[in-house]
Structure 1
Amino acid sequence: MKIAVIGAGAIGGNLAHKLSGAGHDVEIADARGSEAVLAEVLENGARAVALEDSVKDKEAIVLAIPFGVAGQLAGLFASVPAETVVIDTANYYPGLLTDPIEAVDNGMVESQYTAELLGRPVIKAWNAALAETQRTKGVPAGTPGRIAIPVAGDFEEPKRIAMRLVDDTGFDPYDAGALAESWRQQPNGPAYCTELTLDELPAALAAADRVKDAAIRDSLMERRAAVLPENPTLEDVVEMNRAAHR
């Protein structure tokens, strides 16, 4: 597939590297310019391009940008065909990674807010796995213990495509239902960054509680200071996330 990844941070860089390694034709762009793309991101054949060129003639576009800034891309997306699949990977951390957003604080689902800003439907994927999990723990389909990633969206064909791409990055895709239900995979629910298998993930999504999970999300810095060692490993962070729901 012809894919654009917008955002060259940890998540965007991971996805561009893995998707190009899986044989896709990948271009990656960042608002900071092509120099923001690390050399290792391009090792499998992905190409760094200007932001204004990134969405041209693409079958799928992955947004790996900070939550709440999608509106800045609305003009860029005005000419993108309706059939182009748009995948949102962002998460809302009010007061930490972004300013509080009233609509989301009042109950609007994160990716529904992003879709509204962008002016088109989106699929939610890759948001519920840590960047280091995505970088280091992808394995071939059928591998025992393969980590699963929830994928939510309102249209079956775009969701099917997103699920195939999740599989291509080394994780079992799980159909998590409509976009309105994607709050179940947002920070910091039982399914969020806890490295669950396909057998374990459905129960974790079902156990999500919007009020409790938001409180756990908002206590992140306090929990990190109280629980994690000075130089935490990936396993330390995953265990902290799991322990919050025991």
Structure 2
Amino acid sequence: MRILVTVKFTPDLQSQRSFTDGSVTRTADDGSMNELDENAVEAALQLVEAAGEGEVYALTVGGPDAVAAVRKALQLGAHHAIHVTDEEVAGADVFGTAKVLAAAIRKVHDETPLDLVITGMAALDGLTSMLPTALAADLGWAQLTLASELTVADGTATIVRHMPDAHETVSAALPALVSVTDEANKPRYPNFKLIMAARKAPVAQWSLADIGVDGASVGAIAARTTVVEAAPRPPREDRRVVTDTGEGGKVLADFLIERGLA
């Protein structure tokens, strides 16, 4: 079984964010692989382990710092890593990103047929959850989204999707694209051996030319959305700091009652 997982390098959500030319400023020491993509890597590894054979490819798109995302996937157990990096990708929206990913996936698929592409349910820096659908549409593959459970048997992928008032079971013939939620599994911790191996493991670097994508069709120039204006978050005012000497709970309760919040 051959599975490709898309992973994204996302900024630390707890750090102070800033913008440069309408895009979030990103640095190598201020980010990591998108947390929800760990569930996608785990799902792929479990399927390969259950099958007793196969390989997991990790694919990312982004600037030089984005290589950290696929190296994290290698630490978790992925077998191959691919980094699509090109200056013309900068500023790509979800549709441009999907186009680049789809082209890279086709390149892999043409060389070594894939059974599945697995993604996380969303990227924590944008939370649109649009990429899986856009990617499946570009590939022309069936999509099984928001999977809380995933199994593969007899050339068919089956998911269980947990809804607020029901559970849905949906199946599709392979190859297919699946997005998994954080309910799908509990990602494993990297072991020391894989951490050390991932440092020296080769990462294939592809440009847009390598995957046959015209730079004018992706990146900021082709984005369907534009950041018109960005400003620093205003400082919080009227804050009250209470030193808890045993009455902290009462002070908090009184504060909420006074403002009709309790």
* TM-score interval, normalised by the smaller of the two chains: 0.3 to 0.5
Higher relative contact order (CA 8 A, sep 6+): 2
TM-score (norm 2): 0.33
TM-score (norm 1): 0.35
The structure with more strand, counted as a fraction of residues? 2
The structure with more helix, counted as a fraction of residues? 1
